């Protein structure tokens, strides 16, 4: 995390990329445990925290909203998804097809976030030249 006003976008994108990386690990763990009896699917919450931070701002200006985001409140949280639900008799609730779709989607999100961070640094570099 960089403590300067010009890096607000980068800091938020960095937090989002960290959350996406964590979600990738959680989804991979779900896939690895697809045949483990009584294993319950896990997921990562981040977008709701980011959305709450962005909606809590007193302005409609996106840059001001990003500036006012409390970075300490933006932490990915792992949770057990649908703990009372089971698709199979062995108590496992992991659906391999859903996990594969979620993994592919999350990988695209991660790549988009990394590209956005790179673009932010390119803009800062261009402004400094």
What single string gives the DSSP state of each residue in 100-117?
A: HHHHHHHHHHHHHHHHHH
CA distance 129 to 2: 20
Strand spans (E) along 7-81: 42-45, 77-80
Domain that residue 117 falls in: 5-128
What pLDDT is attached to residue 54? Answer: 80
DSSP letter at 7? Answer: G
More confident residue, 50 or 57: 50
More confident residue, 51 or 38: 38
pLDDT in tens, 71-109: 888 889 999 988 788 878 999 999 999 999 999 999 999
What pLDDT is attached to residue 116? Answer: 93
What pLDDT is attached to residue 5? Answer: 60
Largest CA distance in the chain: 63
More confident residue, 30 or 67: 30
In the chain, what percentage of residues exceed pLDDT 90? 55
Residue 2: pLDDT above 70? no
Mean model confidence pLDDT for the chain:
88
**Considering only CA atoms, which of 104, 75, 31 is closest in space to residue 112?**
104
What pLDDT is attached to residue 26? Answer: 98
Residue 50: pLDDT above 90? no
- Assign 89 to helix, strand or coil: coil
Comparing 9-18, 24-33, 50-59, the range with the smallest average pLDDT is 50-59
Give the chain's domain count: 1
């Amino acid at each position: 995390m960089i403590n300067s006003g010009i890096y607000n976008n980068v800091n938020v994108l960095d937090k989002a990329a960290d959350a996406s990386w964590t979600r990738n690990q959680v989804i991979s763990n779900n896939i690895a445990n697809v045949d483990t009896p009584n294993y319950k699917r896990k997921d990562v919450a981040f977008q709701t925290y980011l959305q709450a931070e962005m909606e809590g701002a007193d302005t409609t200006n996106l840059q001001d909203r990003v500036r006012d985001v409390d970075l300490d409140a933006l932490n990915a949280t792992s949770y057990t998804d649908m703990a009372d639900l089971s698709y199979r008799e062995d108590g496992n609730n992991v659906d391999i097809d859903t996990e594969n779709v979620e993994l592919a989607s999350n990988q695209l999100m991660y790549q988009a976030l990394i590209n956005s961070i790179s673009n932010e640094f390119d803009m800062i570099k261009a402004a400094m030249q």
